[in-house]
């Protein structure tokens, strides 16, 4: 019960910020994919940099554990390509589609219905995928610092600096 | 508060704060943010209404039990939070077609609905496959 309440509160805060950042809209999502307006990239990278520092601090303090997903090259690449294709058509992400609906962009309803169908189809296809695509290029649970053989605190500042340079460049270009 | 052209907050500020939200979630609830699993579980719940036996036999739904959990409430919360934000600065707009779509494809609604539906289907299949 407490877990469910945490989920709701976290969602309310996150949805509030997504809307205030104006990243829920189709025009913003397609704007990013068409490299016309990179508001979403600014939002996402800012979020990632803050979360990266905070979560690794928690891990170092023994207050949290990382939840690392397996690197499955076949599934990651094929799934990523399909996701990109679908995202370009839909113009909303799974999480932002409900937020877009909440701010009145009700074409998102059809996207949400489509996503429910897509998830159902995946469940049907899972037994087949499990013995094929999901076995291709399985490198197990792997993080970038592990792959490079360095401390996370080498990767984090470099990543953050890269983000700041990108932000400055985007602002100069008016993107 | 940093105000953008459209009355919103700076994406750096809103994005940075959303990063803080995710840090607190990991700290206090041990939960990392995500949304796509919720669509799979909801699909399972809806299928369960029509064909409960079939759902109980599908391996995928044995691994991902179709029930309301932390992430389901998180996605429901996004709806509530976005609604509150949109009402707070009057940016709520009941809009059947996105402006960029309308300027390119015109006023007809069916093509947009079809593109959104097909796009959603393909995107979610891909997201589940990539374990996103």
Distance in Å, alpha carbon of A148 to nearest chain B alpha carbon = 23
Question: B12 — contact with chain A (CB < 8 Å)?
Answer: yes
pLDDT (0 to 100) of residue B5: 62
Question: A102 — contact with chain B (CB < 8 Å)?
Answer: yes
Structure tokens that stand for A145 in this block? 């610092």
Q: Chain-wide mean pLDDT for chain B?
A: 94
Query: pLDDT tens for residues A80-111?
Result: 999 999 999 999 999 999 999 999 999 999 99
Give A1's pLDDT tier (boundaries 50, 70, 90): confident
Q: Chain-wide mean pLDDT for chain A?
A: 97
Q: What is the ipTM of this complex?
A: 0.95
User: Does residue A60 register a pLDDT over 70?
Assistant: yes
User: Does residue B1 register a pLDDT over 50?
Assistant: no
Distance in Å, alpha carbon of B42 to nearest chain A alpha carbon = 7
User: Does residue A132 register a pLDDT over 80?
Assistant: yes
CB contact under 8 A, B73 and A17: no
Q: Which residues pair with B109 in a beta bridge?
A: none
CA–CA distance, B99 with B102 (Å, rounded to integer): 5
**Residues of chain B with pLDDT > 70: what percent?**
96
Structure tokens that stand for B97 in this block? 């077609």
Residue of A4, A21, A63, A130 to mutate, testing the B interface (most B Cβ within 10 Å of its Cβ): A21
Distance in Å, alpha carbon of A146 to nearest chain B alpha carbon = 20
Query: pLDDT tens for residues B96-132?
Result: 999 999 999 999 999 999 999 999 999 999 999 998 7
CB-based contact A72:A134 (threshold 8 Å): yes
Query: pLDDT tens for residues A18-43?
Result: 999 999 999 999 999 999 999 999 99
Distance of alpha carbon A32 from the chain centroid = 14
Once rounded to an integer, what is the mean pLDDT over residues A39-57?
98
Residue A144: C-alpha distances to residues A59, A64, A106, A153, B45 (Å): 16, 19, 39, 11, 36
CB contact under 8 A, B131 and A15: no
Give B4's pLDDT tier (boundaries 50, 70, 90): low
CA–CA distance, A135 with A113 (Å, rounded to integer): 30
Give the pTM. Answer: 0.95
Question: A74 — contact with chain B (CB < 8 Å)?
Answer: no
Name the packing angle between helices B36-50 and B70-88 (round to 10°): 110
Give A66's pLDDT tier (boundaries 50, 70, 90): very high
CB contact under 8 A, B126 and A78: yes
CB contact under 8 A, A82 and B123: yes
Once rounded to an integer, what is the mean pLDDT over residues A135-164?
96
- Considering only CB atoms, A111 lies closest to which of B72, B119, B130, namely B119
A153 HSE (CA, 13 A, CB side): 3
Q: Which residues of B touch A59 (CB under 8 A)?
A: none
User: Does residue B66 register a pLDDT over 50?
Assistant: yes
Q: Which residues pair with A72 in a beta bridge?
A: A138
pLDDT (0 to 100) of residue B116: 98
């Amino acid at each position: 019960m407490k877990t469910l309440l945490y989920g709701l509160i976290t969602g309310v805060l996150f949805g509030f910020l997504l809307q205030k950042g104006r990243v829920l809209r189709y025009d913003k999502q397609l704007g990013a994919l068409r490299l016309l307006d990179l508001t979403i990239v600014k939002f996402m990278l800012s979020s990632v940099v803050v979360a990266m520092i905070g979560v690794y601090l928690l891990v170092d303090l023994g207050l949290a554990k990382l939840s690392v997903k397996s690197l499955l090259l076949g599934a990651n690449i094929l799934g990523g390509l399909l996701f990109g294709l679908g995202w370009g058509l839909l113009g909303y992400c799974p999480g932002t589609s409900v937020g877009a609906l909440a701010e009145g962009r009700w074409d998102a309803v059809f996207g949400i219905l489509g996503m429910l169908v897509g998830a159902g189809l995946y469940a049907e296809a899972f037994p087949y995928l499990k013995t094929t695509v999901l076995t291709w290029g399985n490198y197990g649970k792997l993080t970038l610092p592990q792959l490079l053989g360095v401390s996370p605190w080498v990767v984090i500042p470099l990543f953050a600096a890269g983000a700041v340079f990108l932000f400055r460049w985007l602002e100069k270009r008016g993107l | 508060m940093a105000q953008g052209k459209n009355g919103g907050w700076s994406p750096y500020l809103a994005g940075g704060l959303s990063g803080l939200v995710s840090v607190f979630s990991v700290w206090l609830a041990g939960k990392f943010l995500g949304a796509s699993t919720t669509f799979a579980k909801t699909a399972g719940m809806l299928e369960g209404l029509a064909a409960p036996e079939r759902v109980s036999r599908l391996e995928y739904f044995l691994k991902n039990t179709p029930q309301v959990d932390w992430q389901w409430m998180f996605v429901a919360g996004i709806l509530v939070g976005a609604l509150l934000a949109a009402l707070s600065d009057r940016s709520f707009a009941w809009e059947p077609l996105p402006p960029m779509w309308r300027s390119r494809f015109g006023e007809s609604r069916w093509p947009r609905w079809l593109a959104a539906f097909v796009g959603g289907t393909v995107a979610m299949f891909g997201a589940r496959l990539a374990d996103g």
